[in-house]
Amino acid sequence: MQDLKGKRVSWVQGAPALNKAVEVGGYGASIDSIINGDNDAAEAATFSTSMVKLEASPRGLYHLPQPHADKEGWKRLNAVVPWHFPHKCMQGTAVPAEGYEKVSALPTPFWSARRRPATTSPTT
């Protein structure tokens, strides 16, 4: 994370889980701001099509190291974004076949709905 010192980082309006410092209009605009040279970093999902676009751009794609053994670094990171946790990423754009341990992850909510039978009242 020390690689970010003095860098411009996206700030997605209305998305506090993604926010750091350079305001942009949304996730896509966040990635575009890196490609266009207006920004230096953004939080993103390794499996998103935006990562493919960024990797193919002149700026390229680089995953910032967040060593799991750096306990003090994780304390500092979690003081700002407590929902991040150490994770070994096994898939995604620019992720090596053996995986990449030095990243953080966000807990992803799982939403599910089941179809109610036609004879069931919404209040039951």
Strands (E) located in 31-99: 85-89
pLDDT at 72: 92
Instruction: State the pLDDT at residue 48.
Output: 86
Task: Tell me what pLDDT residue 5 has.
Answer: 73
Quote the pLDDT of residue 16. Answer: 60
Give the tokens for residue 121.
């009242």
pLDDT, residue 17, reads 57
Question: What pLDDT, on a 0 to 100 scale, did the predictor assign at position 55?
Answer: 93
pLDDT computed for residue 103 by the predictor: 62
- Comparing C-alpha atoms, which of 67, 60, 43, 65 is closest to residue 94? 60
Q: Which residues of the chain have pLDDT under 50?
A: 109-114, 124
Residue ranges covered by each domain of the chain: 2-105
